[in-house]
Amino acid sequence: MSMDFAARGRPELHLTVSDVGKRVSVRRIAEVVAGRPVFRDAVGVLTSWNDGVLIVTRRTGEAVHIAENSVVAGKVVPDTPLRRGIRAPRATAQELQEIASRDWPAQETERLGDWVLRAAGGFTRRANSVLPFGDPGIPVAAAAGRIVEWYAARGLPGCVQVTDEGLDAELAALGWTNEAEALLRTAPLPPLANLPGAERVRLSREVDADWLARYHRTGALGEEAVKVLTGGPSVWFATVPGTEGPAAIGRCVVDGAWAMFGAVEVDPAARRQGLATAVMAALALRAVAEGASGAYLQVEADNEGAGSMYDRLGFTTHHAYHYRRAPKG
């Protein structure tokens, strides 16, 4: 499925299905009034071209469906700088952390009042800590004791993910130690889909051995890691092929209006080639096509390299959080 506009006598205007993922300008006949055609233009990312229909996704997130037989002109156009005026959807810290918990899912959960205890064999703090929004139904000191017992039964230390200053002070008074300062950052999704390089990236629903080999965090927890990585509403894995395994990888989970980005890693030998940006672009295109409009990610506060890249891509800090670990013994 492709269309070469040279066939219509316009040799300077070309679009084919290979341009999917690029920023384009398409002119089509929208209607005919008094025997004259009325033209309309759509500028954005060519998200798909299937069954005689082109979909151009504008920066606002609007998806314009264009019948192939209505197109009179089209071309690839240069990328433009991110516009800061576009915003991600509004959400509270609790709403985003609950979404993040679905998108990076624990394999076992149990409620303590409104709190959620999560375990995943020890793979990452996020999936092996308590999400403590609301009321645990018992005093915090008693809840802390229950948490320690629950995690000890699974061979894990008690750990709570904290965003609330009051709870943080209570756990500190009980001797729980502070660790792993982190940020949840958000950005509008459509501008990410307009970043260059998406055509270099291969997307898959499945995670393979090569992808896992590039991902540095699996370690000895391979099986537990795969369960977390493949969990979530709509999961996509990105790979930029290299000469010896993937040159870059990434993961995205589309969850309603939001898309989680993570596990973006680049082979040290392939850095400074725009591969991380390409991975983000390809995943964003997929997420926009599924109806998402906001992007979010979680990053350690002291990761300056990642922080700088996400700054350039338009991410801003939504809120900070950290973990409190139970005292030993």
232 in a domain, yes or no? yes
In a shared domain, residues 312 and 204: yes
pLDDT at 263 exceeding the cut of 80: yes
Instruction: Give φ, ψ of 219 to 5 degrees.
Output: 55, -135
Residue 56 belongs to domain with CATH number: 2.30.30
Whole-structure pTM value: 0.76
Residue 208: predicted pLDDT: 93
Residue 237: predicted pLDDT: 98
Report how far apart, in Å, the C-alpha atoms of 231 and of each of 74, 105, 197, 248, 249 are.
39, 6, 27, 21, 17
326 in a domain, yes or no? no
Residue 218: predicted pLDDT: 63
In a shared domain, residues 122 and 159: yes
Domain that holds residue 125: 93-182
Least confident interval from 158-172, 217-231, 273-287, 292-306: 217-231
Q: How many domains does the chain contain in total?
A: 3
Q: Tell me the pLDDT band of 181, cut-offs 50, 70 and 90.
A: very high
The DSSP bridge pattern shows strands 130-131 and 294-300 to be: unpaired
25 in a domain, yes or no? yes
pLDDT at 170 exceeding the cut of 50: yes
262 in a domain, yes or no? yes
Report how far apart, in Å, the C-alpha atoms of 283 and of each of 63, 137, 139, 288 are.
16, 40, 43, 9
Domain boundary among 130, 147, 182: 182
pLDDT at 207 exceeding the cut of 90: yes
327 in a domain, yes or no? no
Residue 38 exposure: Cα atoms within 13 Å on the Cβ side: 5
For residue 326, the SS3 value is coil
Residue 295 belongs to domain with CATH number: 3.40.630.30
